[in-house]
Amino acid sequence: MSLNEILTRAPVVPVIVIEDLEHAVPLARSLIAGGLPVLEITLRTPVAMEAIKMIIGEVPEAIVGVGTVTHPDQLLECKQVGAQFAVSPGLTPALIDCSRDIDIPFLPGVFTPSEAMQARDLGFKTLKLFPAAQAGGVSMLKAMNGPLPDIKFCPTGGIGPTSLLEYLKLPNVLCVGGSWVAPKQSMHNGSWQQITQLSTEAVMTAKNL
Ligand code: 3PG
C-alpha cells in the first residue's frame, strides 16, 4: 500500500506510546473497533518494537506504522519486522536515502515552507506537519496551500477532538495524527471500551466533512 493509500484509510492516525507490552494487542483492537486501523506506534519506550511485532503478528487488520523514527537503523528494523510505514518528526538525508533503499513508505516531518520544499525536491510530497499546533495549525496549513498546493499533510501535535474537523476540511490535509484517542490513563486502567468510544467519536466527527 502506498503512503497516500494508507493515510486516506482513516481520518485519524493514533499516535501511540506503549509502556506495557500487555497493552499492545487490546489497544490495537480497541482502536480498530472504533474505526481507526492505521496506527503509529512510537519508538519511545523499551517495549515499543516488541509491541509492534505483537500487533503485526496478532492483529492482521491493523495497518502498522512505526513512529519517532530518527535514525536509519530504526527504519531497517521497521522493514524487518514487517511494518507498513514509518514516520519521523523530521527529515534527514540519511533517513530519506534509507527509506528509498529499503522501499518503505515514509512520512517525514517538516515545520516550515522551506523544509516542505526541500522534501518535495527529494521526492516527498506527503509530509507530517510537526508539531502542527506550534507551527501555526490550521492557519499555517491554509497559508501553505497557496504557494505549495501539491504538498499534502498529516498534521500532528496539539490536535484534539475539537480541532479535528477544522484540520480535515483543509484541501491539503489527508488525515491528522494524535494521541488523544489512546490516553495513557485509559490504557493503564484497561478501559479499552473508552478508547473505542474516543475512536468512534473521531470517525463520527470526520463524517461531518
Ligand atoms: C507526539 O509527539 O506525541 C505526537 O505529535 C502527538 O501529539 P499529541 O499528543 O499532541 O497528539
Show the cell assigned to 161.
Answer: 477532538
Residue among 156, 159, 187 whose CB has most ligand 1 atoms within 8 A, to mutate: 156
The model's pLDDT over 188-202, given as tens digits with 9 standing for 90+, comes to 999 999 999 999 999
Give the nearest ligand 1 atom to 158 CA. Answer: 10
142 assigned to active site: no
pLDDT band of 169, cuts 50, 70, 90: very high
The model's pLDDT over 47-79, given as tens digits with 9 standing for 90+, comes to 999 999 999 999 999 999 999 999 999 999 999
The model's pLDDT over 2-34, given as tens digits with 9 standing for 90+, comes to 999 999 999 999 999 999 999 999 999 999 999
The model's pLDDT over 100-155, given as tens digits with 9 standing for 90+, comes to 999 999 999 999 999 999 999 999 999 999 999 999 999 999 999 999 999 999 99
- Looking up cell 533503499 gives 101
pLDDT of 209 over the 90 cut: no
DSSP label at residue 45: S
**Cβ atoms of residues 144 and 114 within 8 Å:** no
CATH number for the domain spanning 137: value is 3.20.20.70
- CB of 156 shorter than 6 A to ligand 1: yes
Domain count, the chain: 1
53 assigned to active site: no
pTM of the model: 0.97
Strand runs (DSSP E) across 17-171, as ranges? 38-42, 63-67, 85-87, 106-107, 109-110, 126-129, 152-153
Strand runs (DSSP E) across 109-204, as ranges? 109-110, 126-129, 152-153, 176-178
Structural domain boundaries enclosing 183:
3-206
Give the nearest ligand 1 atom to 42 CA. Answer: 3
- The pLDDT value given to residue 163: 98
Which residue type does 85 have?
F
According to DSSP, the residues that pair with 170 across neighbouring strands are none
Which secondary-structure segment (H or E) carries 15? Answer: strand 12-16
